[in-house]
Amino acid sequence: MTGPAEPLDVAALAALDAGLPDEAATAARRRVAQADPRAAEVLDALAATRAELAAEAEPEPPAAVVARWDAALAAEQAARPAGPRRPTRRRRRGPVPRPGLLAGAAAAAVTVAAAAAVVGTVGVGAPPPVPAVARVDLVAVATSTVGVLDLGDLADPGRRAACLRTVLPDAAGERLLGGRRVVLDGRPGVLLVLATGTRGGLHVVTVDPGCGPEGGAVLAQVRVG
Amino acid sequence: MSPASRPLADAELLAAHRAGDPDAFGELARRYRRELWAIAVRTLGNPHDAADAVQEALVAAYRRAASYRGDASVRTWLRRIVVNACIDRIRHERVRRTVPWPERDLPARRADPAVEVATRMAVGEALALVPVEQRIAVVLVDVQGYPVAEAAAILEVPVGTVKSRCARGRARLAVLLGHLREEGR
């Protein structure tokens, strides 16, 4: 281990960076790396990579998705044959279920009824209701739309790209973060949340639902960040 | 469901669920759904598949609660189930290919790669290009910030395997994210 040091390649340096193969070997390799500016550069790159990965903001599940999960679990609960075991002793204690339990059961039942079409058809359920949106609320709605994909006909990437190319060429290259059908100030539309390419930057565009290769209308647009 | 003085521990909630408490599993899901979503969306690269994977995982955990043996924490057990749901989707090619996040929806032109790699989406795109086992290891350790030992417990592989997968994944990502040129320098 004390002879002439051979340069470490990227794979070896990545292993070193990860603490492989063991402490003794890692220590020896670190000595080699410290003497080699190129190796130090690679280690810096790996550190920058780890830092960038660690800086990722934790994504929030969209409310519609959470509602779907809740509905799925409520359906499981409803399908449970009067409880797989006996009901808990606490629940049998009195003639009336405790308020918390009652509320939970009622909520579950409502959720099941409301989302029955969703459960059992994971990912292809009935579209969520179309929210009415005022122009001043666009940014707030956009924030909660990231990760939502209720795009109507614009779910077709080709159609969506053609729409944007036609009506808003500067947005045609921006990537979609989410979208939903809306009624904007009384007019049906599809709100698209697009990544501008800068950290935290959003381009919020609302187009008419029929937008496509033949054109369409931009109902509203705003850039954030 | 729970005494007013303290929230039930995860294992207690799972036990209550097994005993028939209708609210217990929902509470457990509420505790961890955000985290499970993060794992899934980062592993699968698009929200539709992530939503499906988490739903499958939650339903599977709900049904399999009786098989939980306590050899790992409930949290680790849930993480494992969602990771396996993601792997299952990827291996069976159930990941959508027409949703907007993957490569085919990328813009054809990128004026400034330096700006591009600085965006959150660039990380997601880069992760999607890393082999799945490496990607999951990197997601768990580097993005989620779990200790290597926890990642090993989730994946049910030795610690050294997680480190190795992370090493290879990071080397690839370093290039994809623009921190390192191909073949080193």
| Tens-level pLDDT at each residue, chain A (225 residues) | 445 556 678 888 888 888 777 767 777 777 777 778 888 888 888 898 999 999 888 889 999 889 889 888 888 877 766 544 443 333 333 332 222 332 333 333 333 333 333 333 333 345 567 888 888 778 778 877 877 788 888 988 888 989 999 898 888 878 788 889 998 888 889 999 888 776 666 788 999 999 988 888 999 988 876
Find, among B62, B15, B4, the residue nearest to A100 by Cα.
B4
Select from A15, A56, A65 the Cβ nearest to the Cβ of B51: A65
- The better pLDDT of the pair B56, A28 is held by B56
Spatial contact of A69 and B29, defined as CB atoms under 8 Å apart: yes
CB atoms within 10 A of CB A14: 28
The C-alpha atoms of residue B56 and residue B37 are separated, in whole angstroms, by 12
Q: Which DSSP state fits A60?
A: P
Find, among B95, B75, B90, the residue nearest to B34 by Cα.
B75
- Among B109, B117, B166, B181, most A C-beta atoms within 10 A, so best to mutate, is B166
The C-alpha atoms of residue A50 and residue B135 are separated, in whole angstroms, by 13
Chain B residues 140-159 within an 8 A CB cutoff of chain A: 142-143, 145
User: How many residues are there in chain A?
Assistant: 225
Q: Does B110 reach chain A within 8 Å, measured CB to CB?
A: yes
| Structure-token pair, residue A190 | 């599809």
Q: How far is B101 from chain A (nearest CA, A)?
A: 7
Q: Across the A/B interface, how many CB contacts are shorter than 8 Å?
A: 201
**A83 contact residues in B (CB cutoff 8 A):** 20, 22
pTM: 0.59
Contact B51 A46 (CB under 8 A): no
Q: How far is A67 from chain B (nearest CA, A)?
A: 11
The C-alpha atoms of residue B145 and residue A40 are separated, in whole angstroms, by 24
**Residue A39: per-residue pLDDT:** 84
Spatial contact of A191 and A206, defined as CB atoms under 8 Å apart: yes
Q: Which DSSP state fits A48?
A: H
**Nearest residue on chain A to B19, judged by CA atoms?**
A85
Cis peptide before A21 (omega within 30 of 0): yes
Chain B residues 16-45 within an 8 A CB cutoff of chain A: 16, 18-23, 25-26, 29, 33-35, 37-38, 41-42
Select from A20, A87, A147 the Cβ nearest to the Cβ of B20: A87
**Residue B164: per-residue pLDDT:** 94
| Structure-token pair, residue A137 | 């609320």
Contact A69 B107 (CB under 8 A): no
